[in-house]
Amino acid sequence: MSARRYSPRPQARPTEPAIQSEAPVVSPRTSPLAWMIAPAARKAAPEVIALIMRIGAART
């Protein structure tokens, strides 16, 4: 058996009307350069890989 606490019933209370004002319209300013996205990296061509390997082998 659990003990029940006495709590009075809630009574309706009038609330004050909310004061509403219009929000300002904000436009962010960004330069056109900020809109550009860098292109994805490309895979190296097999000829370039072979050239890099030859240069690396010649240096050692």
Q: What is the pTM of this model?
A: 0.26
- Measured between alpha carbons, how far is 36 from 22 in angstroms, rounded to an integer? 34
- Measured between alpha carbons, how far is 60 from 53 in angstroms, rounded to an integer? 11
Higher local confidence (pLDDT), 2 or 35: 35
- Residues 49, 46, 48, 58, Cα dihedral to 10°: 40
Work out the pLDDT band at 28, boundaries 50, 70, 90. Answer: confident
